[in-house]
Structures are given as structure tokens and as C-alpha cells.
Amino acid sequence: MAEVKLEGVSHRYEGARAHTLENLDLSVASGGCHALLGSSGAGKTTLLNLLSGLELPSSGCILFDGEDVSKLDAGRRNVAQVFQFPVLYESLDVARNLEFPLKTRGMPRRDRQARAVEVAGRLGIEELLGRRARELSLFEKQLVAIGRALVRPDVALVLLDEPLTAVEPARKWQLRRVLKQAQQELGATMIYVTHDQTEALTFAEQISVLHQGEVVQTGSPTDLFERPASEYVAEFVGSPGMNLVPGEVRDGSLLVHGHALGIRVAEAPGACTVGFRPEWARAISAGSDGPGVPAQVTDTRTQGVRQRRPVGVVRAKLGEREVSLRQALDVTTGDAVILQLDQLVAFRGGAYLQGWSRVEDGTYARA
């Protein structure tokens, strides 16, 4: 499996006024699992086509293990791809579908049969080897399609183009788990393209967020969730996304909507934006001890029960902004509350500035 690097890669389609991708850098470790996460139109499909060789970059280099493959066509790159809808030979059984990529490369029959059985075992589909593809469920077909991508020992890179889109929701977690286990056991270099942040955050070791043809942040799921590089990433990652409210640095103190939280900062005075995840804050009854920000509950939505108490999402008005909190539903619509922030980050000029976490004595430490 290859180490993949993109250095200053740009691409503009013929007749287009602007680049779809511009001056893009990306690095994927050999045997690594990397996700490309972005909304529709971010450039994910174009980047996938550049990696596979279906499109060639307008400028920049694409390197596999240090070798420049930028001008090589798709057939010479040893790249396998899995699509949203599985592509199989419906009249062939699973074993022959798995063996087919090896047969076209001249691998001896005994060797390709052994490899097909090995990969089927990794994916937990040994019992399907004798069944024809047309007899399988969509979930089973996608497992076989993934097996075809992984079966070639010489494959440099496996590209997964939203492979769970067509799979029924109840089976997605299972396919994700099986795919991740097979990736680790076979040491495959994988790039997983998706608009679904849950898939990206629970599957990949590293994630690159694409926005308008640029990589705006690359990092681990924890990095993106706790230390977003920009306000865009903060709002895009998470469900709901990060709450963003007006803040200010004044006299060495951080204020949220005009209320000091007891956080000392060394940054220059001036306006900033303060962000906190729904999981990082609690709405408690007004008048409670400790620093916080006054707000008013506008809505509550039950999502379950924990320790015999309803839990869910609380919506609250903080000045002109409405924020979301995920907590026990011990407040009701119309209540005056104090928002206590257990963790928060600050942005200035749209970029990450600093983060803090509340410690046991009620003060804040830099994250």
C-alpha cells in the first residue's frame, strides 16, 4: 500500500472560469485510513477522480510512495475504487467476483482462490462464496464490492466514494465496523469520501475538511471536534454544530455576551467569537452559584431517558442568538437560566484562537 501525497494540486475543468480545487496539499500515510469530508460542491469527487487518474491535475504533483503519478492514466495507478452502489457481475458467484481482479492479472488459480477466501474471511462473508451476486442483499453486495477492492495484493490505494449511502441505516454501523477491521488487518491505504460527518468521525484516523476547493483543516476526529481551525469547521462538524456567540477580550478577561467567565487571557483586547458544543454547556436555574451567561429557554426536545430522567436538546436565547444544549431536561420552555460552560473555544477573524476547560475548583485552564 502506498503513501499518498498531493503537493500544490489545482484543477480547473475545461471551460470553467474558476478552479474546482486550488493549491491543495494532502498527505496520507501508508496503510492509513483518511476521510475527505465536505458538503456538496466542496470538490470531493474531483479530488477522488484526480487520485484515481480519471482526471489529471492542471498543476501540482500527486505522489504514490514518492513517485509522481500525476500524468499516469487510471489503468497504471493500481487504484481500486468502491462506489455508492456496488458494481458486480450479477451472474457470477461471490468467489468468482472476488477472484476476477486477480484473474485479469494472471494470478494462478490456486493462489487467487486462496486470496479470495482470505479476504472473504476478513469481511465475514465466507458463507456467501458460493452464492450468485444477484441473490444477495444490497448490504451483502457492498461487502463483496469492498472485498474486490481489497483482494489485489498490489493495490496502492483504495478509494471509497460514499460507500454507505445506499445501505439501510440499521446496517451502516455494521458495515463501518467490518470495513475498519479489514482495513487494519490488511494494512490497506484508504481514502474515504463522504458528506456524512458521523461516518468520517467514526471511521477515519485523519480527516480533511474540504470547503470551496480547499482543505480548511486536517486532523484527528478529536482535533476537529475540540480544536476546529475555523468557525466554518466548528459549525460544520457536530450535530448540532458548535454554538457561536459574540465575545470580547477586555482588560485581560474573556467576556461572553458581556459577562465575564473568570478566564484570564493574554490576547489583545477586542471582539472575538466564542464557541461551545451542545455537550459542553448546561442550562441551570437562574441564581445558581458560579460564573455563567444569562439566557432563556425557548424549546426542549426529548431524545431519550437516562437514569429515569428525560434527556435531549435544550434551545435557549442568548441575546440575539439561539443556542443548543444537550442535557437532562430539568428546565422548561420560558425558564430564565444561567449557561455554565464546561469547555469553550475562541475565534478571531474566523480562525481558532484558544480553548479552555473548567477544572475541579470551578476555574478554567487552557485546553
| 223 lies in the same domain as 246 | no
Q: Tell me if residue 252 falls in helix, strand or coil.
A: coil
pLDDT at 288: 66
| 263 lies in the same domain as 212 | no
Average pLDDT over residues 189-195: 91
| 222 lies in the same domain as 258 | no
Q: 347 pLDDT band (50/70/90 cuts)? A: very high
Q: What is the greatest pairwise CA distance in the chain?
A: 77
Average pLDDT over residues 188-193: 91
Domain end call among 171, 200, 232: 232
| 114 lies in the same domain as 171 | yes
Residues ≥6 apart with Cβ < 8 Å to 14: none
Give the single-character DSSP code of 29. Answer: -
CA atoms within 13 A on the CB side of 25: 4
Residue from 222, 342, 323 nearest 280 by CA = 342
- pTM for this one? 0.88
pLDDT in tens, 91-100: 999 999 999 9
pLDDT at 289: 64
pLDDT in tens, 130-145: 999 999 998 899 999 9
Number of domains in the chain: 2
Alpha carbon of 258 to those of 265, 294, 348: distances in Å? 16, 10, 17
Residue 216: what residue type? V
Rounded to an integer, what distance in angstroms lies between the CA atom of residue 285 and that of residue 194? 41
| 226 lies in the same domain as 313 | no
pLDDT in tens, 18-51: 889 999 999 999 999 999 999 988 999 899 999 9
Give, rounded to a whole angstrom, the gap between the first and last alpha carbons of the chain: 36
| 121 lies in the same domain as 262 | no
| 309 lies in the same domain as 276 | yes
Q: Please determine, for residue 73, whether its predicted confidence score (pLDDT) is greater than 70.
A: yes
> For residues 225 and 174, which has the higher predicted lDDT (pLDDT)?
225
Give the single-character DSSP code of 280. Answer: G
Domain end call among 232, 260, 284: 232
* Residue span of the structural domain in which 259 resides: 241-366
pLDDT at 301: 93
* CATH code assigned at 164: 3.40.50.300
pLDDT at 53: 93
CA atoms within 13 A on the CB side of 287: 3
Domain end call among 232, 265, 300: 232
CA atoms within 13 A on the CB side of 155: 24
| 148 lies in the same domain as 50 | yes
| 222 lies in the same domain as 254 | no
Q: Check whether the bond before 240 is cis (ω within 30° of 0).
A: yes
Residue 172 · residue 59 · CB < 8 Å:
no
Rounded to an integer, what distance in angstroms lies between the CA atom of residue 98 and that of residue 43? 31
pLDDT in tens, 149-178: 989 888 889 999 888 877 788 788 888 888
pLDDT at 69: 95
Average pLDDT over residues 343-352: 96
| 96 lies in the same domain as 226 | yes
| 28 lies in the same domain as 142 | yes
| 93 lies in the same domain as 220 | yes
pLDDT averaged over every residue in the chain? 91
